[in-house]
Structure 1
Amino acid sequence: MIDTVISPAPSPAATRKDGVGKRLNRAVRRNPLLSASGMSEYVFSRLFRNLVYAQIWEDPDVDMAALKIAPGNSIVTIASGGCNALSYLVADPARIEAVDLNPAHVAFNRLKLTAAAHLPDYETFYRFYGQGDDRRNLDAYRQYLRPFLDAETRDYWESRTVTGRRRISIFHRRLYRHGLLGGFIGLGHTMARLYGADPRGLLKARTIEDQKRFFDETLAPLFEKRLVRWATGRKSSLFGLGIPPQQYEALSGAGSDMASILRQRVEKLACGFPLSENYFAWQAFGRGYGSGELAPLPPYLSRQNFEAVRSRAGRISITNTSLTEFLAAKAPQSVDRFILLDAQDWMTDAQLNALWSEITRTAAPAARVIFRTAPAESLLPGRVADTVLDRWTYHAAESRALHDKDRSSIYGGFHLYEFKG
């Protein structure tokens, strides 16, 4: 029976929450709910409203090599975990406007920006985001961060989860074991141990040869196990990587089974770069950053960049909206650099065309766009209108070279486009 009682007007917070839900549904859901695909999309959209990435999984050094950020540039990027947006500050842009559909990512980024600006020194900042496992972080939050947070962000971090713990407590409970990705990596470790393998053993390697040997002898056989092949054959198995059903289909449509694809990606992550240079490997196999002065870190977390990041943190803003909606409100020719992460893998042709129409409208002369895809190829040709795409130059050789240098290793392709005008 339809309830005919008139409900009270929704609160601003409820209105915002409803708006977030609608945006996520538009981004993810394609099929009727009462279908296998529709149910899969619904589950992913619900999961994606919570914290997914405590650390972003795109290599900022590759980004900056492709973008060639110049002092004074205006940057628009999808936020995710915020590591890369803060890292771009090293290149001295005029402003960085970050957007994200996920309200948890918005709260995570606003806290990170406040920490960069207001924590008293590098040691405290590193303890907060490099270690993320110290009760002193809660004291630092109360003393240095809480007074500078907007009410909505403060409410997010001080509210309790279903476990009864306040969200801010993750900063003294092994930060990088939280979020959807942190849980996924933990599940991977658990499954490996069921078969007698400990992924942490890779971090004892002293040479790339040692890394390759460990992968071949310990990790590679896991991808042939019946349970692993069964699990990875289901779309929901990769939700923890932030991979929605559409992206799973793009990956599996490449002609290989998912276990084989994941084996290839993990092999590059484990063996493609020295451990002394690859903090992504430390995150995947050690579930955190390495310890010691020589441990690899994202640019924003390194001691040598701390003062630059601190002094420029005010140049970053974070908005809870879609990239297309955000660009639609901007003036023509006002953006020099665009970072799309892998968001286009989710999109329909109509959404791609709407996005690229706005990118083209707002692109300044010689603007650059970068993005990643699950398969190796760019997804734009044949899907974005020629009248739009013909105004851009695709740097194919440079894109392939940059992909090879991407230490995170989880994507099939890296793509760089430059605006012709």
Structure 2
Amino acid sequence: MSDAITVREQLGAAVHRNSALSKTGLLERIFSKAFNGLVYPQIWEDPEVDMAALEIEPHHRLVCIASGGCNMMSYLTAGPDSVTAVDLSPAHVALNRMKLAAARHLPDHESFFAMFGRANVRGNADLFDRLVAPHCDAATLSYWNGRRGIGGRRIEMFEDGFYRHGMLGRFIGSAHLLAGLFGVDLKSFLACRTPEEQATWFEANLAPVFEKRLVRWIAGNKASLIGLGIPPQQYDALAGAADGDMLAVLRERTRALFCDFPLSENWFAWQAVARGYGENGPVPPYLREENFDALKENAVRATVHNRSLTDLLGELPAGSRHGYVLLDAQDWMTDRQLNELWSQITRTAAPGARVIFRTAGIGTILPGHVDRAILDRWTYHAERSRAWTRADRSAIYGGFHLYTLDG
């Protein structure tokens, strides 16, 4: 059986809950098929919150779900012993491996930032060909040298605005078109200089859009949020945060993204509005000039695998890992999948190990779903989790959660 077939089967196992002939089952299959391509050009979780919760030390060995890689790359700036990243999307794996090779072999922060910060610079493809490609594995090379329809090689996305690509990039582009349909120029938000101006701008410009009939229809359609990387089962959890009123959830979380953090500190708001990082705006830790030397030195400590987290953990020694980053993947899982995952997490966790994850809904999803004999070995930090939920600048999730292994 080929690796590609195995990954497709794992994607199906992760997402498919209903018959392919049902409406929900069809949406599940559309979602899993999309994950064979690029979904997240950048991750939509705040790595600074992750790093604070993980309390990374030099001897720590971390395991994470890769997604767009901003998390893995940022953790490396803190100098852990190792980071092992996994993802079921071959595109995400290729992106993460390229980022690692670029960190090691590009000569300076300026060239690294041109590639992944500005991500729209003519000459980035040549930079890849000369300095990064010789250090990439065959699968990564094949992906970035592959064609994107009539638009040239995939690597050329870094010359015409990488963050406009992928499922998330296209979703944000659609949001700009929708706002423009109602006379709102989202980029005008960048003129705000204080949180008070941000709140005033939101109430005057975006809040009325959520009252439009078309927007109400879109919010009530599960297919419309696949572009955000939200499968049908997670849609239900997201809507459940407001008693089934998806429009209310989207309005509040959009308000939080635009208003709860100063624009000068929130690179997620920049991504949503400018569709990229600002020239002098905020960026995640791995893109900061002061962190580049540490990133270059530590990039060799990370590995990226195209497989499921549970399978990978099954091959690791007992008691060998200190931190686990699950993103929001558990929202998709059945009880059986959750128990298999947490059995392996508990087996491989060192005393005091930390697990962090996010949920579309507000509360932790584990009680009542993970076997009590497993969960009783872990302590849930409710107050600290609520504080980090409030601190997460991405603002899209209902909850951030921290568990630590007792003993």
Trace 1:304-343 onto structure 2 (pairs within 5 A): 304-343=290-329
SS at match of 2:279: coil
Matches of 2:247 and 2:272 in 1, distance apart? 17
User: What is the identity, as a one-letter code, of the residue corresponding to 2:246?
Assistant: M
CA distance in 2: counterparts of 1:37 and 1:256, whole angstroms = 17
Counterparts in 2 of 1:201-280, with a 5 A limit?
201-254=188-241, 255-280=243-268
Question: How far apart are the structure 2 equivalents of 1:204 and 1:16?
Answer: 49
Per the alignment, residue 419 of structure 1 pairs with 405
Provide the C-alpha distance between the structure 1 equivalents of 2:239 and 2:197, rounded to a whole number of angstroms: 31
What pairs with 1:152-163 in structure 2 (closer than 5 Å)? Answer: 152-163=139-150
TM-score (norm 2): 0.98
1:92-241 matched pairs, under 5 angstroms? 92-241=79-228
Q: Name the amino acid aligned to 1:119.
A: L
- Name the residue aligned to 1:6: none
CA distance in 2, matches of 1:369, 1:164: 41
**Which amino acid counterpart does residue 276 of structure 2 have in structure 1?**
G
- Deviation string, structure 1 residues 140-194 (Cα, Å, up to 9, x no partner): 0111011111111101111112335211110001011001000000000000000
For 2:85 and 2:340, the matched residues in 1 are separated by: 19
Q: Is 2:124–2:158's contact at 8 Å kept on the other side of the alignment?
A: yes
Q: Aligned to 2:343, which of 353, 357, 369?
A: 357
Q: Distance between the aligned counterparts of 2:146 and 2:76, measured in 1?
A: 31
Select the residue among 252, 274, 278 that pairs with 1:286: 274
Deviation at 1:237, TM superposition (A): 0.7
Q: Counterpart of 1:81 in structure 2: which amino acid?
A: G
Report the counterpart of residue 361 of structure 2 in structure 1.
375
State the secondary structure of the residue aligned to 1:276: helix
* TM-superposed deviation, 1:16: 2.1
Counterpart in 1 of 2:69? 82
The aligned residue for residue 26 of structure 2 is 39
* SS of 2:152 mapped into structure 1: coil
Q: Is the 8 A contact 2:35 2:88 kept in 1?
A: no
Matched pairs, number: 406
Distance 2:339 2:285 in 1: 33
Separation in 2, partners of 1:271, 1:163: 40
Paired residue secondary structure (1:91): coil
- Which TM-score applies when normalising by structure 1? 0.95
**Counterparts of 1:366 and 1:284, CA distance in 2:** 37
| Distance in 2 between residues matched to 1:346 and 1:117, nearest whole Å | 34
Give the aligned partner of residue 70 of structure 1: 57
Tell me, yes or no, if the aligned pair for 2:236 and 2:244 is still in contact at 8 Å.
no
* 1:401 lines up with 2:401 in the alignment: no
Aligned to 1:268, the other structure's residue is in SS state helix
Residue number in structure 1 paired with 2:396: 410
Gaps of 5+ in 1: 1-9
Amino acid paired to 2:399: G
1:367 match: secondary structure: strand
Q: What is the DSSP-based 3-state SS (H/G/I as helix, E as strand, rest coil) of the residue aligned with 1:101?
A: coil
- Could you tell me how far 1:138 is from its partner in structure 2? 1.1
Deviations 1:224-248 (A, max 9, x none): 1111110111111111111111100
Gapped regions of structure 2 (runs ≥ 5)? none
Mapped to 2, the partners of 1:158 and 1:198 lie a distance apart of 35
Q: Does 1:51 align with 2:38?
A: yes
Q: CA RMSD in A?
A: 0.9
